[in-house]
């Protein structure tokens, strides 16, 4: 029941009948009619003037009369210069609503055996500290994007690359060895990632104190950094790790294990997951092998100091270091190794990396290198580049221990939801403590997720917890409340035994037609969000639909409507608004409560 296709085909027939000429249906320009004019769809007439040999108004009038006489779904039309505004009959919108109601998973495209496979990488944490506010935006964008890509008929593999090796990991390990006194998550009552993060901060505190002492003795900052005994110990530990030292490796595995347990708890609470997790400790050697293979094939070259480089000047970029003179790898090498493993594991058609915009150049280079190495999807890889997120208090600084912790932020959002619910008059008073807690969790996390996702991902953003949980603005709780309202109306109608079957009502309002139009647009919104890699498109659609429905709810009666046909129609409309809101919010990874 695609009305745009029907209209386009009928316009082609009209041009053939009126002017004896064929016209390419794909070149017909149909738009939603602007709000200041009467109509549902507007046909741009100018492309037909060379065929009609008539003025725009006359051509539009003739095509309009033909369409009205040949298409029952068109009730009237009007002409504004070279634009033909078509008014669709209310009966069409009613039938369309029934079609939407009967269509399972309206708005989404099913996955088939032949569907392309898209891999989406997100999260990418370091194992020396907990997940923070920046990780929250990354995870929410990655998870929502995965859902949207899947809703467009693609197979999706959600993947994570954990940065579990390197000097930063050794800093936490060394600090724990020196000052931990055998402390564990069990003995301290702390989540494992929080515990390790504390030792990363402790290392930095002692390191800075050490530098201050050396500088006071007359060294420059650079000399002090080079002479730091603490940093020398951390580097020595890294050398031992690289050499496979049993004690260092055992400590590394133990502490990383604590971190992974903490990460898993945070991921579960945030509502995100992964199909496959890769670890840098497994991929960096594969990357080195792949680079050396590229060297043998003449794709890369070696400098006199034994370092390996890629010359990308012919591609408009610069030369890129891939292996240092001592043979150790850089981040680019590790990314190449991870890509190699993924390509072995999955028949990837497209690879999407969800990484902040400070890495834009890195992914330009990676795309070229993977293409040169023969990965079919290398040139077409997508860097889903997003802006940074801050709180009103200012930027995050992990090394000073002032990082905005993901777990703390989720706690704050749930507490704010509870306080806000209580301020609104205790609508949940008849529920048990467990039920209240669950609804407040859904509202709090919904507020957090929606606020993060409604903003164009490419923009930097300021996250304001108080603003995000407003029940009246462009927020998650407003949309969640609208969904809960549709469910409440449905429950009350069922309890009253209200009939739900109906024939077309004698008349339906412009507001009701407009809501059905919006429901009909949902598949196109999902397609566009998939094409643009834009969760914000889904978020803002959900808000506009919720706002439109709430205006209808306040202007029209539903349960108290005396005309049974009209009441049944409005109940069906309400139910499908709820259905589409739930689908849209679920694509964003946001739960909707059955009551609020």
User: pLDDT tens for residues 416-457?
Assistant: 999 888 887 666 777 888 999 999 999 999 999 999 999 999
Examine the domain organization and report whether 582 and 459 are in the same domain.
yes
- Token duo for residue 412: 């704050």
Q: The dihedral of CA 269, 273, 276, 279: what is its sign?
A: negative
pLDDT of residue 395: 45
pLDDT reading at 18 higher than 70: yes
Examine the domain organization and report whether 72 and 170 are in the same domain.
no
pLDDT of residue 424: 72
Examine the domain organization and report whether 74 and 167 are in the same domain.
no
pLDDT of residue 1: 59
pLDDT of residue 396: 41
pLDDT of residue 562: 92
The answer as to whether 110 is a domain residue is no
pLDDT reading at 291 higher than 50: yes
Least Cα distance to 447 among 488, 419, 428 occurs for: 419
**Could you tell me the pTM of the whole model?**
0.91
Examine the domain organization and report whether 186 and 54 are in the same domain.
no
pLDDT of residue 426: 62
Distance CA 101, CA 531 (A): 26
Name the residue range of residue 21's domain.
3-88
Compare 315 and 425 and report the one with higher pLDDT: 315
Name which of 194-208, 373-387, 427-441 the model is least confident about: 427-441
The answer as to whether 245 is a domain residue is yes
- With bands split at pLDDT 50, 70 and 90, how would you rate the model's confidence at 4? confident
Q: Enumerate residues 6+ apart whose C-beta is below 8 A from 312.
A: 318, 319, 320, 365, 368
Q: What is the pLDDT of residues 321-373, one digit of tens each?
A: 999 898 888 889 999 999 999 999 999 999 999 999 999 999 999 999 999 99
Examine the domain organization and report whether 542 and 447 are in the same domain.
yes
Examine the domain organization and report whether 559 and 424 are in the same domain.
yes
Q: Where does residue 306 fall: left (phi above 0), alpha (psi -120 to 50 degrees), or beta otherwise?
A: left
Examine the domain organization and report whether 171 and 48 are in the same domain.
no
- Total structural domains within the chain: 3
Compare 592 and 430 and report the one with higher pLDDT: 592
The answer as to whether 115 is a domain residue is no
The answer as to whether 334 is a domain residue is no
The answer as to whether 582 is a domain residue is yes
Examine the domain organization and report whether 191 and 58 are in the same domain.
no
pLDDT of residue 569: 96
- Calculate the average pLDDT of the chain: 93
Q: How far is CA 149 from the centre of its chain?
A: 10
pLDDT reading at 190 higher than 90: yes
Question: What is the CATH classification number for the domain harbouring 9?
Answer: 3.30.1360.70
Least Cα distance to 46 among 28, 34, 32 occurs for: 28
Examine the domain organization and report whether 439 and 581 are in the same domain.
yes
Q: Are 529 and 141 in contact (CB under 8 A)?
A: no
Examine the domain organization and report whether 530 and 439 are in the same domain.
yes
Least Cα distance to 49 among 39, 59, 38, 37 occurs for: 59
The answer as to whether 423 is a domain residue is yes
The answer as to whether 140 is a domain residue is no
Examine the domain organization and report whether 174 and 84 are in the same domain.
no
Helices 133-151 and 535-555: crossing angle in degrees, nearest 10, is 80
- With bands split at pLDDT 50, 70 and 90, how would you rate the model's confidence at 588? very high
Residue 113 CB burial class (10 angstroms; 0-12, 13-18, ≥19): exposed
Q: Of the residues 240, 271, 302, which one is the last residue of a structural domain?
A: 271
pLDDT of residue 125: 96
Residues of the chain with pLDDT > 90: what percent? 84
pLDDT of residue 393: 66
Q: Of the residues 40, 56, 88, which one is the last residue of a structural domain?
A: 88
Within 128-219, residue ranges assigned H as helices are 133-151, 167-179, 185-188, 192-216
- Token duo for residue 81: 């210069």
pLDDT reading at 399 higher than 80: no
The answer as to whether 426 is a domain residue is yes
Examine the domain organization and report whether 549 and 450 are in the same domain.
yes
Q: What is the pLDDT of residues 227-286, one digit of tens each?
A: 999 999 999 999 999 899 999 999 999 999 999 999 999 999 999 999 999 999 999 899
pLDDT of residue 394: 52
Q: Of the residues 58, 88, 118, which one is the last residue of a structural domain?
A: 88
Q: What is the pLDDT of residues 107-136, one digit of tens each?
A: 999 999 999 999 999 999 999 999 999 999
pLDDT of residue 381: 94
């Amino acid at each position: 029941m695609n009305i745009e296709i029907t209209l386009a085909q009928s316009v082609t027939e009209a041009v053939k009948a009126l002017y004896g000429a064929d016209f390419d249906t794909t070149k017909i320009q149909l738009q939603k009619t602007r709000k200041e004019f009467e109509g549902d769809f507007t046909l741009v007439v100018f492309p037909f003037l060379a065929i009609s040999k008539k003025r725009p108004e006359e051509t539009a009038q003739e095509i309009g009369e033909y369409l009205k006489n040949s298409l029952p779904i068109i009730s009237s039309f009007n002409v504004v210069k070279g634009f033909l505004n078509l008014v669709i009959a209310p009966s069409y919108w009613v039938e369309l609503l029934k079609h939407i109601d009967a269509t399972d998973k309206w708005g989404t495209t099913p996955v088939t055996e032949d569907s392309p496979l898209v891999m989406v990488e997100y999260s990418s944490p370091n194992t020396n500290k907990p997940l923070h506010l920046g990780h929250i935006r990354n995870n929410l964008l990655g998870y929502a994007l995965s859902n949207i890509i899947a809703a467009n008929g693609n197979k999706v593999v959600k993947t994570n690359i954990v940065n579990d090796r390197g000097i930063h990991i050794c800093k936490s390990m060394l600090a724990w060895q020196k000052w931990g006194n055998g402390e564990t998550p069990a003995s301290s009552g702390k989540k494992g990632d929080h515990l390790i993060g504390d030792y990363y901060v402790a290392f930095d505190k002692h390191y800075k104190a050490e530098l201050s002492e050396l500088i006071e003795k007359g060294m420059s900052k650079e000399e002090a950094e080079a002479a730091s005994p603490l940093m020398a110990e951390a580097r020595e530990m890294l050398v031992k790790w690289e050499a496979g030292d049993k004690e260092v490796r055992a400590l590394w595995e133990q502490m990383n294990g604590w971190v992974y347990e903490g990460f898993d708890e945070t991921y579960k609470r945030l509502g995100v997951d992964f199909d496959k997790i890769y670890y840098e400790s497994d991929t960096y050697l594969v990357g080195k092998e792949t680079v050396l293979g590229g060297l043998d094939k003449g794709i890369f070259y070696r400098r006199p100091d034994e370092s390996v480089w890629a010359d990308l000047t012919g591609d408009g970029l610069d030369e890129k270091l891939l292996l240092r003179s001592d043979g150790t790898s850089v981040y680019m090498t590790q990314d190449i190794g991870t890509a190699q493993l993924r390509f072995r594991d999955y028949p990837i058609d497209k690879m999407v990396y969800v990484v902040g915009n400070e890495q834009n150049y890195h992914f330009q280079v990676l795309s070229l290198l993977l293409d040169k190495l023969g990965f079919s999807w290398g040139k077409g890889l997508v860097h889903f580049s997003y802006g940074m997120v801050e709180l009103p208090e200012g930027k995050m600084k992990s090394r000073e221990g002032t990082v905005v912790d993901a777990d703390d932020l989720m706690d704050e959002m749930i507490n704010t939801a509870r306080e806000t619910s209580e301020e609104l008059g205790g609508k949940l008073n008849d529920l048990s403590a467990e039920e209240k807690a669950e609804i407040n969790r859904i509202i709090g996390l919904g507020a957090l997720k929606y606020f993060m996702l409604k903003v164009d991902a490419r923009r930097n953003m300021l996250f304001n917890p108080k603003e995000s949980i407003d029940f009246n603005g462009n927020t998650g709780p407003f949309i969640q409340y609208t969904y809960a309202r549709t469910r409440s109306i449905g429950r009350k109608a069922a309890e009253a035994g209200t009939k739900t079957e109906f024939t077309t009502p004698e008349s339906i309002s412009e507001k009701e037609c407009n809501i059905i139009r919006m429901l009909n647009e949902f598949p196109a919104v999902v397609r566009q969000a998939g094409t643009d890699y834009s969760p914000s498109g889904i978020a803002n659609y959900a808000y506009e639909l919720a706002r439109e429905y709430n205006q209808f709810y306040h202007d029209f009666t539903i349960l108290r409507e005396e005309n049974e046909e009209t009441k049944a129609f409005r109940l069906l409309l309400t139910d499908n608004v709820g259905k589409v809101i739930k689908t849209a919010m679920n694509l964003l990874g946001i739960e909707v409560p059955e009551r609020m």
